[in-house]
Amino acid sequence: MWINAKLFKPELPTAIVSKGFPMLIIDALGHELRFSSIEEIEHFLEVIKQKNMPTASQLVSKRPKSIGLNSHWLSRLPAKLKPWRNRQKYIKTVECGLTEMKKLLQ
Q: What is the pLDDT of residue 60?
A: 82
Is pTM beyond 0.75? Reply is yes
Predicted confidence (pLDDT) at residue 2 exceeds the cutoff of 60: no
Domain boundaries of the chain, sorted by first residue: 34-55+71-106
Question: CA 60, CA 11: separation in Å to the nearest integer?
Answer: 21
User: Which pLDDT band holds residue 1 (cuts at 50, 70, 90)?
Assistant: very low
Predicted confidence (pLDDT) at residue 54 exceeds the cutoff of 60: yes
Q: What is the pLDDT of residue 77?
A: 93
10 preceded by cis ω (within 30°)?
A: yes
